[in-house]
Amino acid sequence: MRRRRRYYEPEDLGYEQDLRDAADPNRRFFVYVLDTDYGHYVGHTAHVGRRLREHQDGETESTAGGNPTLAWRSGPMDTRADAASFEAALKSLRDQRSPRFREYTGLGPVPYANPSMSALRSSSRQGSYRRRRDGHPHDDWFARFLRREIRGLFRSQRKRRMWGAIAVGIVLLVVYASNGGC
């Protein structure tokens, strides 16, 4: 059996995050579960409402285009480390489809399968690209990428700005080229 890497490493937070957490000793942290098209996403934050808006606006890559809605939220926890370890425990229970996940959250355990990450995992396990019979090895990945970006355009103001700037650049390039490059 292959050993799972840890979901959370304390050093991932960085020095700046430690300073922000120490600056407000009354800050409380929450673990939350989102119901998405890809399954149940588990995370932790100090601001559940703001984090939910980020997920719904497509600013979080892992849930972009997945129609995330808040399904459950824990009670307040004193430290980020407590919230992160509880998050890791919930993810493990969810992935094992344990009945204890339902005891904690009241939700059936639906493992989270982010389409962009599952494509990377499946190709890395085989050690080489999987080639479709009728085309390029990246055809499936690119089609999924386009679908996710198009869905994200309807949810994320940041993506609309980015793609709008790209479109304006292309139009200006075409106008410049049609005028003979003057």
**DSSP track, the chain:** -PPPPPS--GGGSHHHHHHHHHH-TT--BEEEEEEETTEEEEEEES-HHHHHHHHHTT-SGGGTTS--EEEEE---BS-HHHHHHHHHHHHHHHHTT-HHHHHHHSS-------HHHHHHHHHHHHTSPPPPTTS-TTHHHHHHHHHHHHHHHTT-HHHHHHHHHHHHHHHHHHHHHHTT--
On whether the pTM is more than 0.95, the answer is no
pLDDT category of residue 123 using cuts at 50, 70 and 90: very low
Q: Picking from 60-74, 107-121, 156-170, which range would have the lowest pLDDT averaged per residue?
A: 107-121
Assess whether pLDDT exceeds 70 at residue 38: yes
* Lowest-pLDDT choice from 2-6, 64-68, 106-110: 2-6
What's the pLDDT score for residue 69? 92
